[in-house]
């Protein structure tokens, strides 16, 4: 029996494929909070669940774990924080991979 999920994942991981979730993850930081506040709660929860599958974001997972479902303001806050964290990781990664030259003035 073939693994359909793996086959679909290989298809979507191609560089020419651009998912809206990837675009949101890599979106510009300026005005990010305002763009997130306009989005529906369900879209934000879907993005959070995609970004961190082990998290308690969907209503079903929250109910199963005895946690209150995520409200819109918390979904905006969590999404904003994760996108900022992603940008910080990318900046650090780019900085640490580059060559650094130390200059001393004697």
User: 44-58, 61-75, 80-94: which range is least confident on average?
Assistant: 80-94
* CA 21 to mean position of chain CA atoms: 7
Averaged pLDDT for residues 68-73: 93
pLDDT of 84 > 70? The answer is: yes
36 within some domain = yes
Does the residue 74 lie in any domain? Answer: yes
- Taking the mean position of all CA atoms in its chain, how far away is CA 104? 41
pLDDT (0 to 100) of residue 25:
87
Res 70 pLDDT > 70: yes
19: in domain: no
Tokens of 63: 């109910």
Question: Quick one: pLDDT at residue 1?
Answer: 44
- Is 63 within the bounds of a domain? yes
* CA of residue 3 relative to chain centroid, distance: 25
DSSP tag of 58: S
Is 87 within the bounds of a domain?
A: yes
Structure tokens at 38: 């306009």
Quick check: 3 pLDDT over 60?
Answer: no
Residue numbers of the domain that contains 41: 29-92
- 78 found inside a domain: yes
| Number of domains within the chain | 1
DSSP SS3 for 22: helix
């Amino acid at each position: 029996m073939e693994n359909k999920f793996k086959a679909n994942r290989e298809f979507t991981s191609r560089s020419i494929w651009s998912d809206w979730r990837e675009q949101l993850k890599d979106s510009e930081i300026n005005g990010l909070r305002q763009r997130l506040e306009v989005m529906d709660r369900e879209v934000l929860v879907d993005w959070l669940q995609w970004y961190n599958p082990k998290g308690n974001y969907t209503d079903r997972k929250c109910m199963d774990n005895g946690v209150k479902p995520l409200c819109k303001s918390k979904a905006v806050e969590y999404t904003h924080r994760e996108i900022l964290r992603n940008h910080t990781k990318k900046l650090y990664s780019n900085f640490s991979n580059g060559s650094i030259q130390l200059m001393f003035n004697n």
